[in-house]
Structure 1
Amino acid sequence: MHIIFGRFSQISIAAALCLGASGGLQAQNFPISAGQKATATQVAQTGVPLSDLAPNAPDSYSVRRGDTLWAISGLFLKSPWRWPELWGMNLQDIRNPHLIYPGQQLYLEKANGRAILRTRQASADGPPTDTLRVSPRTRFESLADASIPTLSPNAIEPFLAEPMIVDEIAFATAPRIVAAQEGRVLLSRGDRAYARGEYVGGEVRGVRLSDAKGDPQAFRVFRNAKPLKDPTTQQILGYEAQYVGKAELARGESTAQIPDKNGELKTEIVPATIDIVSTKEEMRVGDRLMAEPPREFLSYVPHAPASTISGQIVSVYGNAVAIAAENQVVAINRGRKDGLERGHVMAIIKDGERLLDKTDSARPQIKLPNERNGLLMVFRTFENLSYALVLQVTDGVKVGDRFVNPN
């Protein structure tokens, strides 16, 4: 019997997610690491033990629009991040695991205590028992746009388009909006404003806003960079800036010789002219400008870290949000220098409660064991911090909760 399942809202395993030229998402042909390829090749030859299959793994599955490979892998395997094994079970038919499309049929074959996943059903003896009526039809579709995305676009796209974590010195010396036309207090899309980037406190510290060829012309606007501290050491690991919109440079900074009341020429600063092209919320004087970074094409291949990594959750993204649930973003106190990379899956650990043992007359203090509380996946890394999406959670996730390798 062929089983067709409905939509999944979880995270995919091996498709690509990237930000296209129009801001949308499209699949790309991303490379596979040597280790992942070796694992897949080995499993392609031997299959996986039946003990590694999920308890209710179906005999067959039809990929549908809206499915994700994370959910499909979790459907067949006990550990969804072990995607190379799922891929290896079907290596001949799925040569590029980044490109998985709705309409593909997956069949699970079990023999001699092992399992193999294929996209073609094994031939059976005897004539087929079902009759399929086929009529001519035409369908046109761009495969690059139809492949399954890696992460839920609604959950992480703002974090891909907006560099949330900034360096303290870079933010303090970044160009800033100094004035608006007609004394306006708030700025929105279509407004013109003026900014300076060369002088801070009378000293040349920042970068001058220049309209010369090769200099940045597009900027993102931020405010209120708040410090993110390590929950244990209280060390400041970085600053999370509030993204408010985008601006384009119309004219660069300059100086002008203006005669004073005595007729003597005096050098005065002429700030740069900027046009507000988009706003997440209204801008105001004092907001900072940071050059638009080059567009990146990112792939997310969920996998466990090769080395031991552990740490703590630093913050839950969102104003006045204290507890993170499934599909929410958290910042963690490990980054590139600690070996974290995009796609690393980590297990969330809930600290065991501390309480009095009322069954003991001495009423000693006891601590319950730590318990695994779910999974998160890193999707953006910085030097000392990373952003991660909560994939699965049993209980709420809060600042200070720990994470460790999933296996």
Structure 2
Amino acid sequence: MRESMTKQICTWLSLLTLMLTMGFALPTFALEQEQTYIIKKGDTLWGISERFINDPYYWPNLWANNPDITNPHLIYPGDEIRIFGGRMVLVPTYPSGKVAEQQETPVTETAPAAKVKPAVVEKTTLKTGGGSEGFIHAGEKPLGIIVDSVDNRSLLTEGDTVFLKMNDPAVVSVGDTYGLYERGEKVIHPTTGESYGNMMHDLGYLQVTSLQGKIVTAKIGKVFREVERGAELYDYVPPVMEISLKKAKNELEGHILATQAEKLTQGQHDVVFVDLGLEDGLNVGNMLYITRPRTVTEKSLLTPDTQLPDDLLGAAVIIESRAKTAAALIVKSVKTIYRGDQVLSITE
């Protein structure tokens, strides 16, 4: 064994000598350069995340990994953030609860680097992947239903021709497009017990091809699952593939009402539905924190009535907003998310 290892070492030394003789350069390893940024008035965690590591959704990690940030709205001018290796660490200079001076502070860096461009959060965009995949029905009447198909099949799919029963055939024209939905489970508020209606699952869409009196014929377009007779028709909403992120105008608090496809656990890229909507001032592009109350454990040295900061679970962006509810795409999750978890609007 020892003789074999000696031969192997000699072989490596011979190869190294040959490389040096032939002029091969040995690899050099650059030391990781650290940048330091001083927070200025108007900065946000998600804006800073986008500017320095090209990931506006990194900020939940920044918050979760820094216990000094008990409230993500409260980062102060003068606080220091260190950026290295695609990571960011906050080094607060103000004690909790102290109001910092609202003044401009220059950017400082430990190594020469290009000037940092000012963050313009309003122009940050998000690729959504297609849409909400449904909505919470709040009493709206369907525009019509599928009553049959030309070949009397029970399960329908893309390309099939179907007959429709429309509530008002007089307003229907050839070429009109309608969204197809399946009525699902009832949606009950997880804390108040209030009924919000039914979950409507997006099946796809169809397009009207001909009109003969009250008989409306249509062809099914792209579908996401099998379609059956009785599928309900609503106004077609084209999928929004990209939206602009923007701060909410009001401080809003709510809960996750329902989840996509009745999943028990949620994470990044899942869609959830919240009990806030247009009537509350929640609009497409608004960002939400997802949190959960943190409780004192039995083994803790704190008293049971101690108020601990909420546990950050992730962040979401509103991709569709209706009167009382909205669909939100989870863009970052640092912990498992459940129905009933809290949501807070991002206003800063």
Tell me whether the two structures share a fold, i.e. TM-score over 0.5.
Answer: yes
State yes or no: 1:317 paired with 2:288.
Answer: no
Task: Check 1:239–1:3 CA distance in 2 against 1; reply closer, same or farther (3 A cut).
Answer: farther
State yes or no: 1:397 paired with 2:337.
Answer: yes
State yes or no: 1:308 paired with 2:251.
Answer: yes
**Secondary structure class of the residue paired with 2:285:** coil
8 Å Cα contact 2:260/2:272 also seen in 1? yes
State yes or no: 1:179 paired with 2:179.
Answer: no
- Residue 207 of structure 1 deviates from its aligned partner by 2.4
State yes or no: 1:168 paired with 2:175.
Answer: no
State yes or no: 1:115 paired with 2:107.
Answer: yes
State yes or no: 1:377 paired with 2:317.
Answer: yes
For structure 2, the 5+ residue unaligned runs are 1-29, 77-103, 116-122
8 Å Cα contact 2:125/2:242 also seen in 1? no
Task: Check 1:219–1:70 CA distance in 2 against 1; reply closer, same or farther (3 A cut).
Answer: same
Equivalent residues in 2 for 1:200-239 (5 A)? Answer: 206-208=167-169, 211-212=172-173, 217-239=176-198
Residue in 1 that maps onto 2:163: 194
Residue in 2 that maps onto 1:260: none
Task: Check 1:195–1:116 CA distance in 2 against 1; reply closer, same or farther (3 A cut).
Answer: farther
Residue in 2 that maps onto 1:138: none
Equivalent residues in 2 for 1:131-150 (5 A)? Answer: 150=125
- Residue 391 of structure 1 deviates from its aligned partner by 3.2
- Residue 376 of structure 1 deviates from its aligned partner by 2.5
**Secondary structure class of the residue paired with 2:196:** strand
- Residue 294 of structure 1 deviates from its aligned partner by 7.1
Equivalenced residue count is 263
Residue in 2 that maps onto 1:245: 204
* d(CA) in 1 for partners of 2:44, 2:239: 39
**Secondary structure class of the residue paired with 1:248:** strand
8 Å Cα contact 2:284/2:318 also seen in 1? yes
Residue in 1 that maps onto 2:291: 349
* AA matched with 1:286: G
Task: Check 1:329–1:279 CA distance in 2 against 1; reply closer, same or farther (3 A cut).
Answer: closer
Equivalent residues in 2 for 1:45-60 (5 A)? Answer: 48-49=39-40
* d(CA) in 2 for partners of 1:277, 1:391: 29
The one of 223, 229, 232 aligned to 1:279: 223
8 Å Cα contact 2:203/2:224 also seen in 1? yes
* d(CA) in 2 for partners of 1:195, 1:116: 66
* d(CA) in 1 for partners of 2:281, 2:159: 43
* AA matched with 1:352: R
* AA matched with 1:195: L
1:200-259 C-alpha deviation (Å, 9 max, x unpaired): xxxxxx22265547xx721121112433232222223343311222211122252xxxxx
**Secondary structure class of the residue paired with 2:141:** helix
* d(CA) in 2 for partners of 1:309, 1:342: 14
- Residue 196 of structure 1 deviates from its aligned partner by 0.8
Residue in 1 that maps onto 2:86: none
Task: Check 1:2–1:328 CA distance in 2 against 1; reply closer, same or farther (3 A cut).
Answer: farther
8 Å Cα contact 2:257/2:273 also seen in 1? yes
8 Å Cα contact 2:136/2:187 also seen in 1? no
8 Å Cα contact 2:126/2:245 also seen in 1? no
TM-score relative to the length of structure 2 = 0.60
* d(CA) in 2 for partners of 1:307, 1:153: 23
1:170-191 C-alpha deviation (Å, 9 max, x unpaired): 13xx311111223211222222
Equivalent residues in 2 for 1:29-178 (5 A)? Answer: 48-49=39-40, 67-71=54-58, 114-115=106-107, 121=114, 150-154=125-129, 157-159=130-132, 164-171=135-142, 174-178=143-147
State yes or no: 1:340 paired with 2:285.
Answer: no
8 Å Cα contact 2:137/2:200 also seen in 1? yes
Residue in 1 that maps onto 2:326: 386
* d(CA) in 2 for partners of 1:166, 1:345: 23
**RMSD value over aligned CA atoms?**
4.5
TM-score relative to the length of structure 1 = 0.52
- Residue 387 of structure 1 deviates from its aligned partner by 1.4
Task: Check 1:242–1:236 CA distance in 2 against 1; reply closer, same or farther (3 A cut).
Answer: same
**Secondary structure class of the residue paired with 2:218:** strand
* AA matched with 2:107: A
For structure 1, the 5+ residue unaligned runs are 5-46, 86-111, 123-147, 198-205, 255-269
Task: Check 1:339–1:151 CA distance in 2 against 1; reply closer, same or farther (3 A cut).
Answer: same
* d(CA) in 1 for partners of 2:237, 2:279: 21
- Residue 380 of structure 1 deviates from its aligned partner by 1.9
* d(CA) in 2 for partners of 1:314, 1:72: 25
- Residue 3 of structure 1 deviates from its aligned partner by 8.4
